[in-house]
Structure 1
Amino acid sequence: MVTALAKIFLKDVKMNDSQGRKAYGTLCSVVGIFLNICLFVGKYFAGVLTGAISITADAFNNLSDAGSSIITLVGFWFAGKKPDTEHPFGHGRFEYVSGMAVSCLIILMGLELAKSSVDKIIHPQELESSILAITILLISICVKLYMAFYNTGIGKKIDSVTMKATAIDSLSDSVATTVVLICVLVNMKFGINIDGICGLLVAILIIYAGIGAFKDTISPLLGKIPEPELVDKIHDIVMKHELVYGIHDLVVHDYGPGRMMISLHTEVPGNENVYKLHDMIDNIESELQEKIGCEAVIHMDPIEVDNQVVTDTRSKVENIVKSIDEHMSIHDFRMITGDTHTNLIFDVVVPFCVEKKHDEIKNNIEEKISELDDKYRVVMKIEEDYIGN
């Protein structure tokens, strides 16, 4: 259905820009609203027919999904708005906000259904088995699996956290409906009423799916680390240029899907022509924009590349830092030699996985460097790692 509608209404729309994301998000949301309302009507009728709280609970779960699709639709419309004077980075994060609202609605619905199911366990009621109800539940499972399929596919293509969360919700709904179907079949075959228990299981699945979706949508708002694949791609693009000897201080700023800015430092030879280096940096920034779709700001850090003493000393300091914790690294290494002592100036990157305190790390490094040569004086800055290495 979605593919056919896309060919009719979105045949000239590209997926990889903001307007394309908005168009495909709108289409999937409208289809989701329509299908979920149909499922609600069918299941509610089946629930009234059989008196099963598990079926009625599943029906209202579909109704909440329709409401979620409406919120998703609004989210895509706001996220697709162009940047303005008050929001120069666009409105892309509104998609994350709408996804968070969807997940909260899912959790609340799950809690309400859990309450109703517990009441049914305490006060069970006789159920009426129906072939029609079974047919409706089977159709519902198939529809929800289809919704999970198309939301997953398009969610990956347009990189939408909200649609991926909707896909997970649809998949959990199909599992929940399967549980309800088992409840009806057990009652029909053996006369055993497990309606309240099945309703509670459905509620737990709904709550679990809602919590998972909440985590997926709140993380980008808080500022999560970039995906390793993205970091590797940036590294490969920058490091392929022969005058780049290293990169560090990479920071990825996510303002919503398709709205990403990055900043990083490159180590370049200090004896090279500055205009040549500046031209290279301009080319790297353009390449990052073309291949990754991000705005890049690159800072140049000059280093000595033809001084063997500096190279050897840097290697020794790197080994010292690695001996304290293999996850740490250094950059911007310089040596300033004086009459009485030599300053070793460098930055140490400490990932969040390193448990030692910064003062302890600094003291350990200073002690070990003093063992190399008592004339060495350490001028060190400790930095956090923003890419999760």
Structure 2
Amino acid sequence: MISLLARLFIKPDPAREEPETRRAYGVLCGIVGICLNVLLFAGKFLAGTLSGSIAITADAFNNLSDAGSSFVTLVGFQLAGQKPDSEHPFGHGRMEYVSGLAVSVLILLMGLELGKTSIEKILHPEPVDSSPLIFAILCASILVKLYMFLYNRRLGKKLASPAMEATAMDSLSDSVATAAVLIATLVGRFTGLEIDGWCGVLVAAFILWSGINAVRDTLDPLLGTPPTHEFVQRIRDLVMAHSTILGIHDLIVHDYGPGRVMISLHAEVPANEDVLALHDEIDNVEKELREKLGCDAVIHMDPVVTDDGVTEETRRRVQTLIHCIDDAIDIHDFRMVAGPTHTNLIFDAVVPFGFRLTDQEVEQKIRSAVRALDGNYYAVVNVERSYT
């Protein structure tokens, strides 16, 4: 159904920008989600009223909250698709993450409410009536929710949308919850055992688990996560394809929402080349990153001495010594500044987060290693972390 509606209402347009396409799919899925969840609420509320089952009634209101979640997703995609303005020069893309977080919080609230209602049912059990109509409504609800899970997951992966993936998990939770309610109803009908409340507790636990995972998945992009290894490698391959660039470091990826990515990096270039020619080459790299990866880039040139055998040989020897301290430490921006009494070796040392040594211990060990290499060498070290 979603594919048919997409063909009807989202016409292929080569000139359409990615944020606009995302918004169109988000709005379409939001409207379909609202309609389906309202229908499910009406059917389950009728079934719960007729049967007297607190689990079915609670499941009905769970679907009503899902309609609210779909509305939040719809609004989130509408806001995220707005163009940058003077107050938000980087666009509104993160509103999609915010809407996904709102959906996740609603999942948690419904899990808590369902758990509370189920415990009350355990303490005060009541017989549950059933009929073929109630079974039909519950089975139809499971099938609809599984369908919603599949199309939200498919589009969530296609558009890399945390909001849609959170909605997909919510739909899967609902299908499991309804299946548990159906099982409890069948058991009560054929055995007389009143397990309505116990099934509700299990369903609530599953919903809470799904909600916690959804919160984590939507909160991480808001706090800031490192880019994927594949994306970093694509950047590295594209930049290093230019022969005048000898290496890159200090790569930072700034994520302002899907389709709105900025990157900054330091490019090592030969110090003896013409600066204007190098600047032109850097401009070409920035343009290529924008055209091929869809991200704006800011590149800082770092001159590297390439015609001085002493500097390069010393850098290799220092790197070897530092790897003896720990293979995880890398260096860049290596320079040698000679003086009348000693030579300063100036460079940055990159260590991973959670490293076993403190920054001060790393500095001290590197200084000692450099002094052991040559008594006239002094290391001026800046210890930093990688953002990738």
Amino acid in structure 2 at the alignment position of 1:97: V
Cα gap change, 1:238/1:215 in structure 2, threshold over 3 Å: closer, same or farther? same
> Match of 1:24, as an amino acid?
Y
Superposition map of 1:209-288 within 5 A = 209-288=210-289
- Name the counterpart of 2:151: 150
What displacement does 1:94 show? 1.2
Cα displacement string for residues 133-172 of structure 1 (whole angstroms, at most 9, x for unaligned residues): 2221211111111111111111122221101111111112
Counterpart amino acid of residue 6 in structure 1: A
Name the residue aligned to 1:310.
311
CA distance in 1, matches of 2:329, 2:195: 56
Q: CA deviation at 1:323?
A: 2.3
The worse-fitting range, judged by mean Cα deviation, of 104-113 and 258-267 is: 104-113
Q: Mapping of 1:191-202 within 5 angstroms?
A: 191-202=192-203
Amino acid at match of 1:138: C
How far the C-alpha of 1:272 sits from its partner, in A, is 1.3
Q: Say if 1:145 and 1:171, in contact at 8 Å, map to a contact too.
A: yes
> Partners of 2:377 and 2:370 in 1: how far apart?
7
Structure 2 residue runs without a partner (length 5+) = none
**Pair 16,177 (structure 1): closer, same or farther in 2 beyond 3 Å:** farther
Q: What is aligned with 2:178?
A: 177
Q: CA deviation at 1:362?
A: 0.2
Q: Which moved more, 1:354-363 or 1:313-322?
A: 313-322
- State the Cα distance separating 1:367 from its structure 2 match: 0.7
Instruction: Indicate if the aligned counterparts of 2:322 and 2:369 stay in contact, CA closer than 8 A.
Output: no
Equivalent runs, 1:1-389 vs 2, <5 Å: 1-13=1-13, 17-387=18-388
**Which stretch shifts more, 257-266 or 92-101?**
92-101
Q: Using the alignment, how far apart are the partners of 2:146 and 2:326 within structure 1? A: 47
Larger deviation, residues 192-201 vs 313-322: 313-322
Stretch deviating more after TM superposition (117-126 or 332-341): 332-341
Structure 2 counterpart of 1:11, which letter? K
Structure 1 residues 44 and 224, CA gap change in structure 2 (3 angstroms):
same
Q: 1: distance between equivalents of 2:103 and 2:168?
A: 12
Q: How many pairs does the alignment contain? A: 387
Deviation at 1:298, TM superposition (A): 0.3
Q: Which moved more, 1:295-304 or 1:212-221?
A: 212-221
Q: Please give the root-mean-square deviation of Cα atoms over the aligned residues, in Å.
A: 1.4
CA distance in 1, matches of 2:24, 2:365: 56
SS at 1:127 equivalent: coil
Q: TM-score, normalised by structure 2?
A: 0.96
Report the CA distance between 1:129 and its aligned residue: 2.2
Q: How far apart, in 2, do the equivalents of 1:183 and 1:315 lie?
A: 69
How far apart in 2 are the matches of 1:189 and 1:238?
68
Residues of 2 paired with 1:13 and 1:122: CA distance? 59
Identity level (%): 57
TM-superposed CA distance for 1:188, in Å, is: 2.1
Which whole-Å CA distance do the structure 2 matches of 1:129 and 1:191 have between them?
Answer: 12
The CA distance in 1 between the partners of 2:356 and 2:29, in whole Å, is 45
Amino acid at match of 1:111: L
Contact 2:251 2:387 in 1 (8 A): yes
The one-letter code matched in structure 1 to 2:151 is Y
CA distance in 1, matches of 2:321, 2:55: 63
1:126 CA drift (Å): 0.4
Amino acid at match of 1:298: I
Question: How far apart are the structure 1 equivalents of 2:189 and 2:320?
Answer: 72
SS of the aligned residue for 2:12 comes to coil
* CA-CA distance at 1:321 after TM superposition: 2.2
CA distance 1:267–1:160, change in 2 (3 Å): same
Q: Is the 8 A contact 1:16 1:158 kept in 2?
A: no
Q: Distance in 2 between matches of 1:325 and 1:133?
A: 65
Bigger Cα displacement from structure 2, 237-246 vs 367-376: 237-246
Return the TM-score normalized by structure 1.
0.96
Q: In 2, are the aligned partners of 1:117 and 1:196 still within 8 Å (CA)? A: yes
Cα shift at 1:13:
4.7
Matched position secondary structure for 1:177: helix
**CA deviation vs aligned residue, 1:319-356 (integer Å, no higher than 9, x gap):** 22222222221101111223321111100112213131
- 1:16, distance to aligned residue in structure 2 (A): 5.8
Q: Give distance in 1, aligned partners of 2:240 and 2:131.
A: 66
Q: CA deviation at 1:234?
A: 0.9
**Distance in structure 2 (CA, Å) of the matches to 1:117 and 1:195:** 8
Question: 2 CA distance for matches of 1:13 and 1:174?
Answer: 36
Structure 1 residues 237-261: Cα deviation after superposition (integer angstroms, max 9, x where no partner)? 1111112111111111111111111
Cα offsets for 1:7-36 (capped at 9, x unmatched): 111123568611111111000000011111
d(CA) in 2 for partners of 1:355, 1:38: 56
What SS class does the counterpart of residue 383 from structure 2 fall into?
Answer: strand
3-state SS of 1:244 partner: coil
